[in-house]
Amino acid sequence: MVNSEIVSKGILLVDKSKGSTSFKLVSLLRKLTKIDKIGHSGTLDPFATGLMVMLIGREFTRRSDEFLTSDKEYQATLHLGISTDSYDIDGQVVSRSEKIPTLHEIELAVQTFQGDLLQIPPMFSAKKIQGKKLYDLARQGISIERQPVPVRVQIQFIRYEYPHLELHVSCSKGTYIRSLAHDIGLMLGTYAHLSALTRLRSGSFHLADAISQTRLQDPHFDPSPYLRLHP
């Protein structure tokens, strides 16, 4: 068992497993360290993998806003021809298209979504409007008007083999990659949803420096050597 006097505070970089929730990761670390005050610098949806910046101890959870404002990088896979109500693979299919965009059309669309953009947050999101989380309304079948939010995006094309389009995305805080996938699909004259997502970077933290969530599932694993006291 980990000695809680040793593991008292710090930043722990974790590579979240597919299918796990951010809450489950927090719960896992609480059991492992016996520390209640644990947070993170931004959630990842269950289907997504990659970097989670875990904040352990009151000193670091109080600084969560500082880490939430960081720019981020992702590798995203879009599934063309199908849209879902949540804009991702976990949602219900709402539209289909048989159009197969050309590589030239893909390149033009990618160039359109560069720089400063206005993005409408998806209904299936934790964003609050008048004190209510959008996903709570969405699950009741309620859709409300959302105001566009300014974001900054840089996209690099990786690979295209219909129906899959892979992109590298650098973006400012508050950017929804799911919305980006949905909007690109509409611009292409077909539909699209986000089928895979990996967070590669959050601020100055990189996935290459993270430990796997699988290691944390070992009750005898000691995370102390991996804790950072500074970004």
d(CA 72, CA 56): 21
d(CA 169, CA 75): 6
Q: Of 45, 85, 88, 183, which is the active-site residue?
A: 45
The full DSSP string for 129-153 is: ETTEEHHHHHTTT-------EEEEE
- Residue tagged 């927090």 (tokens): 26
Residue 87 CB partners (closer than 8 Å, separation 6+): 122, 124, 176, 178, 179, 181, 182, 193, 194
State the maximum Cα–Cα separation within the chain, in Å, rounded to a whole number: 60
Is 136 one of the catalytic residues?
A: no
Angle between helices 103-112 and 177-187 (to 10 degrees): 130
- Residue tagged 């991702």 (tokens): 88
**Pair 16, 50: CB distance under 8 Å:** yes
The residues carrying an active-site annotation are 45
